[in-house]
Each structure stands twice: as C-alpha cells, then as structure tokens.
Amino acid sequence: MSAQTDGRAGAVRSTDGWTLDEWFVVALARTVADGEVVFHGFASPCAQVAMHVARRTHAPGSLLVEGATYAVNPEPAFVPPTSNDLALHRDAVYRMRFEEFFDAACRGAVDRMFLSGGQIDAYGNTNVTAIGGMPHPKIKLGGGGGGANISATIGALTVWTTRHGSGRTLVETVDFLTDLGHVTPAGTRAELGHTGGGPQWLVTELGVLDYTADGRARLLATFPDVTVAQVEKATGFALAVADDVGTVPEPTPAELAAVRDVDPLGVRRLEFGPSDLARHFGPAA
Amino acid sequence: MTGFHLAADKRTTLEEAVAHVRDGATLALGGGLAARLPMALVRALVRQGTTGLRVVGSAHSIDVDLLVGAGAVAVCEESYVGFEQDLGLAPAFRRGAESGSLVVRESSCVTMLTQLRAAEMGVPFLPVRGLLGTDLPTLHPEWGTVTCPFTGQLLAAVPALAPDVALLHAPIGDAAGNLHLDQPYVLDERFAHASRVVVASVDRLVSTAEVAAAGVTVPAHVVTAVVEAPFGAHPTSCYPGYAYDRTHLAEYVKAASAGGDAFEAYLDRYVRVEEQTYRDLTGAERLTAWSASDEQWQELFR
C-alpha cells in the first residue's frame, strides 16, 4: 500500500498535530476488524473515508464494498462529495450489482455497516426520515436508503454522529424509527426474527461508546477536550458509563497519513460544524 | 407482463417520448443519487405540465426534487431524496413534505427491489427481510406480513410493483432501443423489465453493432421509445462521458431553496427551453474534462 509513503498528502511528522475530523475518522476506522466485509451507505463521507483508512492500516484483509457504486476494494485517488461516482471504482477488480450487494447483506454475508441518523436512541435505533415524525414532519430528512432492511441482517453496525454536542441527536425516543437498533417498541431483534447483531459501536465527536448486554449505549472513552459530564449533558437518555472511562486512543502517524491520502478533498469535513472543525490536538496544538 | 416491444425503429423526440407519461401515472426514474438521472426527459415532463405522478425508486436527487417543485408529483415513494452532505436536503421535496402538499410514502432500497422483482416474476408479492419493528410500514398500508409455510418464520411481505412508465438514460443506444449502461446499473434493469412502458434517452444513438460490442444492458424488446439527448443526464453524471456538474447543482439547490420567483426563474432559464439552449447555458461540455487527469477530475468537485 502506498498510502504511508507517497508524498501527495505530505508526510506526517511526529511533531504534527491533528484535527478532530481526522481523529474521528480514525476512531471509526478502528471499529472495522481485519477480515470483515464492510459497507457504508451514501451520504456518509466520514464512514467512507474510514473504511479505506482501515484497509490501508490495521485491516488489510477486509473486503470493502463502496456504497452506491458497489465496487469491491477500490483504490480511489480521491473521495468525491457524491457517492455514486466513477472515481470510487478506481482499480476495483469487481463491481457488485445492486441486487448482488443487497442480497448478500440480507442473507448475512456482510459483517459490518456504518449507519448515522438525525436522531439516535439509547438502543441505536436511528431516524433518517423525519424530525417530528410522519406524516407531518417538522423537518423532512432525506430518507434511509436500504437501512430499514439491512440494519436487520448485517452482522454488526457501527453507528456514528458528528452532532452529539447539539443535544438534539441522542434522544430518548426517535420521532420515526427508520433503522433498527437492539430493541424497538415492537420488540427485540430476536423477537422480531432479525438475524443481524445490531449496533456494536457508537462513535461521536464527543467520544466512543459501545452497547451493554441489554442493548443500551455505554460511554467508553471521550476525546481529551471533552468531559464525561459534557457527554451526559448532551445525551437525551440515561447514559451508561463504563467504570474506567478513558480518552480515545491517539491516531498513529500511519493512520493520519492514510486519512490525508484517501481524502485530499476533505469530504469528511462536510459532516462537522465550524466549532468542531476548529478542534486541534497533538504536539503542535 | 404486457408483452415485448418489437418495432425496429423506436426513435422519437423528447416531447413525444414523455407523452407516454399520463397525469397520475406511477413513474420509475432510472439512475441513482446524482448519476445517470434521466434529466432531459424530466425537463420535457415539466414542459409537458404533467401532474399527479407517483414517483418510485431508490436514492434520488434533482430529478425528483425538480418534478416536485414543478408541481408534477402527488406521491413520492423513494428510499432517499437529497444531495448528500455536499448540497444537503432536497429543498422542494422537503417543502412539499413539510407543507403537506406532497405525500411521502418513503420506501427502502431492498423493499423497492423486491416489489419490482415480484412484478418481473409475475407473482403478487414477495417476502423481504427487515422492516418489522421500523416505522416504514406505517406509511404503507399495502404492505403486510407472511408466515413461511415451511419454517413458520414471520416476514414482511410486499406487493408486486409494475410502474406505468420508466424513464432511463444511457450513454449509448441504438434505434431499436438496445441500451448500454456503465455500472452501477442501480434499479434500471429491474425498472426496464417490470414497467409497462420504458422510455430511454441516450447521449449518443449508435449502430447496433456498437451497442452489442459495448454490451447490451437493457435489451430493445423491453424498450418502447428512444430519444437521442446529448448530455441528457446533466447536471448529473453519465460516465464515461461526463462528470456531475457541482456548480449547476448548487445553483439549482439555491433556486429551489428560495422557491417562488427564484424557482420559476430557474425553470424559465433552464427547463422551458430547447435542450441545445440548456447545454449551451450550462457549459455541459466542460464536464468531459474529467478524463484528462486525476487533478482535473478533482477540480470538478472543488
């Protein structure tokens, strides 16, 4: 892999700092285990960049299916701001068909998917349909793509949001349940007959969370400029907190180099507000 | 289905092609997100003044939004309408949904695929994974559940969906309607086989030998009409010809967000004109530069 060595994005020196958007993508990338089949949907620049970072660092044996082109293990020269673009086919030996990908996801052949939402509840149910609910939305969001089907069947889900700090994203109850978490008002995944494992990780711009045995989000680590109290205040449900909450492990130079190499246009930054884009860490901070 | 279309020469004009779309029709739109959307046909549909459409499909953007803004759509049954993180929510779609003038029966990609497959297979319904426990079924009284006769599993069940008309765009096609597409085909093949009428636009009409050499993705016998429309997917991409026009899409989103006179001005300038005028105004030709180098390609996205 040339990501760590070619000079296009500039070498990463140990004295360089890094930004929150870079660290966030690295934290997302670390949720991919080597050897997994991973997929992101459209409108997901952070997840999209993270999957390539994972493959170029700790998970070279993963099989990456690029969302919306269904290209297998492409090596894009850059990530464009639209996810159905030929740039995302680069050097892919094979491109799945739309049907082929979704069939694989439905029958359980896909290990991980990245999902986000305008609202996310304690169980990882997400709302990408409408704030205020349907049929009378206060804000009509874009919609869920294939999530209402394959969130039920994919092995594990990495849920993410860059808007945790708004106080409006992690909510007690989603206004519309588009994609499935661990427990819905109609029952658990097992009771509903769903075969996938559900949310495993929740990565936000405040920290990293996992899920307890009863399916609720639990805070594991925060970014160093964030306190546990801040996370609790920004969360609209009773938040479980691990006994030994730490800080999110720092990105390595190789991971930072991969982020910068994969994403020279900086599409990952489209997901963050101005105050989060200003967050800077590391020796040069 | 209602049978194959065997005419040898199906070439026609944009105006005649969209005359297949009647008020109130169930309309499938090909392509996905901001790629290979049948925009020349969509613009002709707006000029025709069609109303009451039920649009169906997976993930879409300016095609659906423009039709909604122009008052052509009653019901929207897509899995997503928007401009991703780049340009954000779909302004006219959002305004319609929030004001109640547009009925949104949001669907999901696999559900739509399954409904089209049922129509293709000639069965009244198919089971589909997921959906149970989500709120999507509350928008779809026509969906149900089925118990597997062999395992006893309860699954969501969705009815066959045969669109009245599908509008597709392809980079090349022949006079009989054989079409070659580049991947991803998204739902275009499914629309082509499940719909009663298939209307295609192509950037270039070519010989049958040329389409055959490139590979026929959609065969002539499922196509009703074909129109040559250079840059017919613009402002969305149609590779290998042209990349998407971020500048024009931003101009559209701005006009659609403002609504009212600004949206009417957009329609007057870009939609209620000849396609040749549209191509000249938008400078669509510059988008072929993507293939010169990675640097030039990236520049188109800045």
Interface confidence (ipTM) of the complex: 0.97
Q: In this structure, are A71 and A142 located in the same domain?
A: no
Q: Can you tell me the distance from the alpha carbon of A80 to that of B300, in angstroms, rounded to the nearest whole number?
A: 9
Residues with Cβ within 8 Å of B247's Cβ and at least 6 positions away in sequence, in order, are none
pLDDT at A284: 58
A282 lies in some domain? no
Contact call for B97 and A140, based on CB within 8 A: yes
Chain A from 185 to 244: CB within 8 A of any B CB: 185-187, 189, 192-195
Q: How confident is the model at residue B167 (pLDDT cuts 50, 70, 90)?
A: very high
Q: Can you tell me the distance from the alpha carbon of A31 to that of A220, in angstroms, rounded to the nearest whole number?
A: 13
pLDDT at A13: 53
Q: How confident is the model at residue B78 (pLDDT cuts 50, 70, 90)?
A: very high
A7 lies in some domain? yes
Q: In this structure, are A159 and A49 located in the same domain?
A: no
pLDDT at A16: 77
A281 lies in some domain? no
Q: In this structure, are A52 and A138 located in the same domain?
A: no
Range of the domain at A265: 1-96+251-270
Q: Is B214 exposed, middle or buried (0-12, 13-18, 19+ CB in 10 A)?
A: middle
Contact call for B85 and A143, based on CB within 8 A: no
What are the residue ranges in chain A where pLDDT is below 70?
1-15, 284-285
Q: In this structure, are A71 and A151 located in the same domain?
A: no
Structural domain boundaries in chain B: 14-106+162-289
pLDDT 10s digits, B43-69:
999 999 999 999 999 999 999 999 999
Residue that the structure tokens 């196509």 belong to: B223
Fold exhibited by the domain B14-106+162-289: Glutaconate Coenzyme A-transferase (3.40.1080)
Which one has a higher pLDDT value, A12 or B282? Answer: B282
A277 lies in some domain? no
A223 lies in some domain? yes
Return the half-sphere exposure (C-beta side, CA atoms, 13 A cut-off) of residue A121. 19
Distance from CA of B236 to the nearest CA of A (A): 10
Q: In this structure, are A215 and A237 located in the same domain?
A: yes
Q: In this structure, are A133 and A58 located in the same domain?
A: no
Contact call for A140 and B98, based on CB within 8 A: yes
Q: In this structure, are A80 and A2 located in the same domain?
A: yes
Q: In this structure, are A85 and A197 located in the same domain?
A: no
Distance from CA of B70 to the nearest CA of A (A): 19
User: For chain A, how big is the Rg over CA atoms in Å?
Assistant: 18
Give the residue from B238, B235, B236, B246 showing the smallest Cα distance to B204: B238
Q: Can you tell me the distance from the alpha carbon of A169 to that of A120, in angstroms, rounded to the nearest whole number?
A: 6
Contact call for A148 and B134, based on CB within 8 A: yes
Residue A153's CATH number: 3.40.1080.10
Please state, as a whole number, how many other Cβ atoms lie within 10 Å of the Cβ of residue A75: 17
Q: In this structure, are A136 and A208 located in the same domain?
A: yes
Q: In this structure, are A135 and A210 located in the same domain?
A: yes
Q: Can you tell me the distance from the alpha carbon of A101 to that of A34, in angstroms, rounded to the nearest whole number?
A: 20
Categorise residue B174: left if φ over 0, alpha if ψ from -120 to 50, beta otherwise: beta
Q: Can you tell me the distance from the alpha carbon of A152 to that of A102, in angstroms, rounded to the nearest whole number?
A: 12
Q: In this structure, are A54 and A142 located in the same domain?
A: no
Q: Can you tell me the distance from the alpha carbon of A125 to that of A151, in angstroms, rounded to the nearest whole number?
A: 10
Give the residue from A7, A273, A274 showing the smallest Cα distance to A161: A273
Q: Can you tell me the distance from the alpha carbon of A85 to that of B242, in angstroms, rounded to the nearest whole number?
A: 11
DSSP element (H, E) containing A188: strand A187-188
Contact call for A85 and B85, based on CB within 8 A: no
pLDDT at A283: 78
Distance from CA of B61 to the nearest CA of A (A): 9
pLDDT 10s digits, A263-272:
999 999 999 9
Q: Are A32 and A51 in contact (CB under 8 A)?
A: yes
